[in-house]
Structure 1
Amino acid sequence: MKRLLIAAGGGGDAITAAMVHAALYGGDTEALVLTYAWERLVVDPVPGPRGAADFAGALAPVPGLTLITPRTAPKAPAGSLLPRLAAHLRPALGLLDPYGGTLGLARQIQAAARWCRADRIDLVDVGGDIVARGDEATLRSPLGDALALAACAATGIPTTVYVAGPGLDNEVPLPQLAPRLGEPAFALTAGDTDGVLGLFDWHPSEAGAMLVAAARGVRGVCGTRDAPRPLVLDDSARQVHRLGRDEALRLNPLAVALERCTGLEDAEDISRAVCGFSEIARERHRAAHAPAVPPPRPPADPESVLARFTAWERSRLAEGLGYVTTRRITEELGLTLPEALVLYRTLREGTPERRVAPLWRLAGG
């Protein structure tokens, strides 16, 4: 028997599901995490989620279940970090393909439950948009979570919803989330992060990185790349809240509206009706208006890169930040991979106290 967990969103939720699994059952307990291949355009330049047909080398142990392994690869021009995650996460990874809508997802989850011989589901979300009403001004990506919740309900399999690190995804502010979530069920600890700590050297999930940092005792103000405001890492940032499936549905009008959805285009239309937007349409717009990829350039010398970082760091300190994510440093400084590797090695060797894995402490922060 394997435990069956559903990552409500993308790669960050898959990592969070692995931590929640470790906290609930122990990291060595066999488990399967079903997750979307729905990643940022910097990873996957094709808007929207990827389906099973977008991968080569996936496994299908039973009809309806697609397993992602380290040997699986996305078909160009698509991109995906799931095969790399599969090489590092302890739970096995399976794909959620949303192109058949809620009912298609439900069939995939049922197939996974039969294969795992699981009689219940743990549905995991980092941040809390799985209980979004749909009208929050800062809401950006509710569709994947709502589809996963609606699909779990459609299976009829008992489902528990876990929200970890409320507010860390900067979608629904913590003051709005707190009354919906109630008291925390438990808190993640440093030991729960042991299997995922090294992932954030290359994985761009900032919510996941902050959750890991909070679980490991980091406290302070953290600035991320993809957020309108900094976040305070305090004890609430490592908490996990438990909700019943029906309670989560009561809080999520989009999930309720998706109950009989049979396709992704239909899901987009429902999202427009409930939330006023389609996040896939937004991705299409960003992809269509993305700046041209600049031609390769030789890496800047290490001293020049360090000087750019130092000037950037002074500006972030003036904003009141104490910590930043790897992604924010890399993207805001426009670092090539060789430049990033040199900078991070220089920071580790010159001032080891800067690295508070998986975050970076600003000097004086």
Structure 2
Amino acid sequence: MTRLIVAAGGGGDAVAAAVLNAALYGGDDPAVILTYAWDRLLIDPVPGPRGPANFTGLHQLTPSVYTVPAEAKPIAPAGSTLPRLAAELPHTFALIDPHHGAEGITRQLEELVSELSPSGIDLLDVGGDILARGDEPTLKSPPGDALTLAACAQVNADIRLLVAGPGLDGEIPAQVLRERLGPVVHTLTAADVDRISAVLEWHPSEATAMLSATARGIRGLCEVRDAGLPVPLTDEGPAIYEADLDDALQRNELARRLLDTTSLDEAERHAREVCGFSEIDHERNKALWLADQAPTELDPNATLARVAEFEAEAVTRGVTHTTFRRLTEALSLNGTQREELRKLLITTHPERYTAPLWQIA
């Protein structure tokens, strides 16, 4: 029997879905993971999510659902982590296509339920912004989660909503989420996350990186994203909670607005009305800014000096750890230099690599 896991926000949620499948269900049978191809600009320089038309080599599973095998390729200039995930993990990654709104995603889910007759369906979100109202000023990426929530709420099947690592996405603080969470269904251990350790060596997800780090026992304050958001690494970090899907929908005004949407443009308009912004607008603006930046060479000595300056300032903010994405953007390096920076730091100070995070001196 196949298990279906919906990665609410795509990206790191898809990686966390692989951990979830093994931790809760034994992991002997690979799952079908339905996820967005929506990577940050470090990976995909094109704003917004990718659809089937943005890939070659996809496999058609149902009339509206395509899977992304290892040999699939994003059509330039787009980029995607999904083919590499398919190569390194045993699961089937199916592509959420948000370009037909919540109605389109609902149709995809209904087709998968009919095709697979899954033994169970989980909707997984790392961080918990799926439990937001939609108008919180700290929200950074509400449309993806709201679309999947709206779609799952309309499917004629039992879907369990799970939240891993409340607050780890840096959007809704854990203390705000506590009253919206149900029971803990599992607390991740180092053994649970070991199976994705190789993936997190290259995958840019910060929330799932911190989820893995807290499962390994790392505690402190981690600075993330280009804005340098501080995220506490606490004992709540590795916990997976169940939450009520209907309550989440009733609370989330954006998700309710999206129920009848038939296009991504329509979903964007609602996001601007409810949240005051569209995440894709932010990506468009940032992509234009990045295009105007002159390329910077990664000179090892100069880079190490700049890292030392960053760390000295971070210590004054109480920061104990950071992500390599944060370091890459703080040093004004481009996404292609992230791996080079990571190798330089790990080679120079291997004792400071608290996988998959960097420990501040």
Q: Identify the residue that residue 43 of structure 1 maps to in structure 2.
A: 43
Q: Identify the residue that residue 130 of structure 2 maps to in structure 1.
A: 130
Cα deviations by residue, 1:299-358 (Å, 9 ceiling, x for unpaired): 42x333333322332222222211111222222224578976665445445543211111
Cα distance in 2 between the residues matched to 1:283 and 1:163:
25
Residue 231 of structure 1 pairs with residue 231 of structure 2: yes
Q: Identify the residue that residue 145 of structure 2 maps to in structure 1.
A: 145
Q: Identify the residue that residue 25 of structure 1 maps to in structure 2.
A: 25
Match among 334, 351, 354 for residue 352 of structure 2: 354
Aligned-partner residue type, residue 355 of structure 1: Y
Over 3 Å counting, the alpha-carbon distance change for 1:275 and 1:293 in structure 2 is: closer
Cα distance in 2 between the residues matched to 1:72 and 1:338:
20
Cα distance in 2 between the residues matched to 1:340 and 1:282:
21
Residues 164 and 239 in structure 2, CA contact (< 8 A), matched pair in contact too: yes
Instruction: Give the alignment's Cα RMSD to 1 decimal.
Output: 2.2
Q: Identify the residue that residue 327 of structure 1 maps to in structure 2.
A: 325
Cα distance in 2 between the residues matched to 1:303 and 1:296:
14
Q: Identify the residue that residue 179 of structure 1 maps to in structure 2.
A: 179
- Taking the TM superposition and a 5 Å limit, the aligned residue runs for 1:224-303 are 224-295=224-295, 297=297, 299-300=298-299, 302-303=300-301
Aligned-partner residue type, residue 4 of structure 1: L
1:230 CA drift (Å): 1.4
1:293 CA drift (Å): 4.6
Residues 66 and 95 in structure 1, CA contact (< 8 A), matched pair in contact too: yes
Over 3 Å counting, the alpha-carbon distance change for 1:57 and 1:259 in structure 2 is: same
Match among 291, 302, 305 for residue 303 of structure 2: 305
Aligned-partner residue type, residue 262 of structure 1: T
Residues 296 and 333 in structure 2, CA contact (< 8 A), matched pair in contact too: no
Cα deviations by residue, 1:35-90 (Å, 9 ceiling, x for unpaired): 01112122222221111111111111332220011111111222211111221223
In percent, how many aligned pairs have the same letter?
Answer: 48
Over 3 Å counting, the alpha-carbon distance change for 1:81 and 1:134 in structure 2 is: same
Which range is displaced more, 340-349 or 198-207? 340-349
Over 3 Å counting, the alpha-carbon distance change for 1:222 and 1:91 in structure 2 is: same
Aligned-partner residue type, residue 53 of structure 1: A
Over 3 Å counting, the alpha-carbon distance change for 1:187 and 1:266 in structure 2 is: same
Cα deviations by residue, 1:62-121 (Å, 9 ceiling, x for unpaired): 322200111111112222111112212232111000111111111111222233321531
Aligned-partner residue type, residue 103 of structure 2: L
TM-score by length of 1: 0.91
Q: Identify the residue that residue 63 of structure 2 maps to in structure 1.
A: 63
Q: Identify the residue that residue 206 of structure 1 maps to in structure 2.
A: 206
Cα distance in 1 between the residues matched to 2:65 and 2:244:
25
1:31 CA drift (Å): 0.4
Instruction: Find the residue that maps to 1:270 and give its secondary structure.
Output: helix
Which range is displaced more, 183-192 or 69-78? 183-192
Cα distance in 1 between the residues matched to 2:258 and 2:118:
25
Aligned-partner residue type, residue 156 of structure 1: N
1:248 CA drift (Å): 2.1
Cα distance in 2 between the residues matched to 1:248 and 1:25:
25
Cα distance in 2 between the residues matched to 1:290 and 1:347:
24
Runs of 4+ with deviation above 6 angstroms: 336-339
TM-score by length of 2: 0.92
Cα distance in 2 between the residues matched to 1:220 and 1:287:
32
Q: Identify the residue that residue 74 of structure 1 maps to in structure 2.
A: 74
Residues 17 and 124 in structure 2, CA contact (< 8 A), matched pair in contact too: yes
Q: Identify the residue that residue 10 of structure 2 maps to in structure 1.
A: 10
Instruction: Find the residue that maps to 1:61 and give its secondary structure.
Output: strand
Cα distance in 2 between the residues matched to 1:280 and 1:269:
11
Over 3 Å counting, the alpha-carbon distance change for 1:342 and 1:43 in structure 2 is: closer
